[in-house]
Amino acid sequence: MRRRVPHTAKRAPGGRFSAGRRRTLALGLGCGCAACGFGGAARARLLDYELAASEIATNSWAVLGATEWFDETNGGNIVNAAFIEVPDGVVVIDTGPSRRYGEAFRALIERTVPGKPILRVYNTHHHPDHFLGNQAFDPATIASSPGVIANIVAEGDAFADNMYRLLGDWMRGTAPVAPTLALESAAEEVGGRGFTLHHLAGHTSADLVVRDEETGVLYAGDLAFLYRAPTTPHADIPVWRDALASLAALDRSTILPGHGPDDRSGESLEQTGDWLDWLDGTLRDAVDEGLTMNEAMLQPIPDRFAALGVARTEFERSVVHLYPALEDALFPRVETIER
């Protein structure tokens, strides 16, 4: 197992309880009325993501989220974010699902790399768990592909609404902030470090992959998942397959997937491709047989995906995302007689 750098030594009062104990307390206070006087305040203080930095390459850290679905226990911390110390400052990849996460993430960066300015924040794509922490960072430093920015502007509010519904108080004060810098170039230098920018698509209509030219780490965003079923609300599977092929061809030391542990072997690209092929084939067969969406959702998931978190949930979601286009493609057109 990888060494983790917890950075929890200077926790505020209340830190003497274990995570599990604090959660129990929070539940107890939330449910019982005896503690109404201070319950609200105590509960607010106890909503703590407990972010930990895990060093995945020299002076490069990942903050690994749970391979789960959003709920009020994980607060939306189901996503990977990362930061890199460069000669003159710090570069950040994605900002998490909420303002609270963004602030905790920023504090973690400042504890890990004290006294260095955050020069650049990249958003890999417009899904809410990757950019709703933007509020904690200087807007002038936040950058992405033009397509990612357009998607955030178009869908950010609706995403935030739904995240409040799913996560409740974890989202307090969160509002979508779009990146101010639209990057179209294939590379940029930040604080004395070169980064290659791959403007890809497939998981969404715009996916930015960042490669650190010094360490060779590939920050793949959600084009790569590992031990967590890929999500498809904006997916174009053939385009995604092409993106995976181009990532596989890149020189890299390790891959940080959008969800799941960092990956030296390239397993995340293979597993994501394998899942997408199986998903596409299974749904095509189901549409061809005339199964309803509900019947398709009951199809068996092969044993080789047993290690993937939330596989059944994501498969059911994918049926809803992908079925209508497959029906349009596979059901034969009939000539109607209009009267």
Partner 1 sequence: MHTPRSTRPSTTVAAPRPETLSRVVTFALLVVLALASALGAAPAVARELPADPLRSVMWKSMAERFLPDGEIVFDERVRVLAPLSAEDQVNVPVTVDATALDDVTEIVAFADLNPIPLVLRARPEGAAPFLGFRLKLQQSSPVHVGVRTGDGTWHVAGVIIDAAGGGCTAPAMAHGTSDWMSTLGETRAQVRRGVDGEARMSLRIRHPMDTGLASGIPVFYLEELTVRDADGETLMALSLYEPVSENPTLTLKPRVGTGSGTLEVSTRDTEGNVFAFPLEVPAAGDS
Where does this chain bind partner 1 (CB under 8 A)? Answer: 161-162, 165, 233, 288-295, 297-298, 316-317, 319-321, 324, 327-328, 331-339
Orientation angle between helical segments 267-289 and 237-248, nearest 10 degrees: 160
Task: Compute the least distance from the CB of residue 235 to partner 1, in Å.
Answer: 13
In DSSP terms, 225 is beta-bridged to 259
Q: Is 47 left (phi over 0), alpha (psi -120 to 50) or beta?
A: beta
How far from 4 is each of 51, 52, 212, 218, 268, CA to CA, in Å?
Answer: 11, 7, 21, 20, 21
123 or 318: whose CB is closer to partner 1?
318
d(CA 309, CA 132): 23
42 or 326: whose CB is closer to partner 1?
326
Using CB atoms within 10 Å of the CB of residue 278, give its burial: 0 to 12 exposed, 13 to 18 middle, 19+ buried. Answer: middle
Task: Compute the least distance from the CB of residue 231 to partner 1, in Å.
Answer: 11
DSSP letters along 208-272, please? EEEEETTT-EEEEEEEEESSBPPP-TT--HHHHHHHHHHHHTS--SEEEEEESS-BSSSHHHHHH
Task: Compute the least distance from the CB of residue 103 to partner 1, in Å.
Answer: 26
Strands in 187-190's sheet, in edge-to-edge order, are: 187-190, 193-200, 207-212, 217-225, 254-259
User: Exposure pattern of 245-268 as b/e (b: 16+ CB <10 Å)?
Assistant: eebeeeebbbbbbbbbbbbeeebb
SS3 assignment, position 275: helix
Sign of CA dihedral 275, 280, 281, 287: positive
184 or 335: whose CB is closer to partner 1?
335
Task: Compute the least distance from the CB of residue 232 to partner 1, in Å.
Answer: 10
184 or 338: whose CB is closer to partner 1?
338
In DSSP terms, 151 is beta-bridged to none
192 or 324: whose CB is closer to partner 1?
324
194 or 233: whose CB is closer to partner 1?
233
31 or 329: whose CB is closer to partner 1?
329
5 or 330: whose CB is closer to partner 1?
330
265 or 299: whose CB is closer to partner 1?
299
Task: Compute the least distance from the CB of residue 327 to partner 1, in Å.
Answer: 5
Q: Which residue has the tokens 């990977």?
A: 80
Task: Compute the least distance from the CB of residue 266 to partner 1, in Å.
Answer: 31
Task: Compute the least distance from the CB of residue 286 to partner 1, in Å.
Answer: 11
Task: Compute the least distance from the CB of residue 179 to partner 1, in Å.
Answer: 25
Cβ distance 82 to 93 under 8 Å? Answer: yes
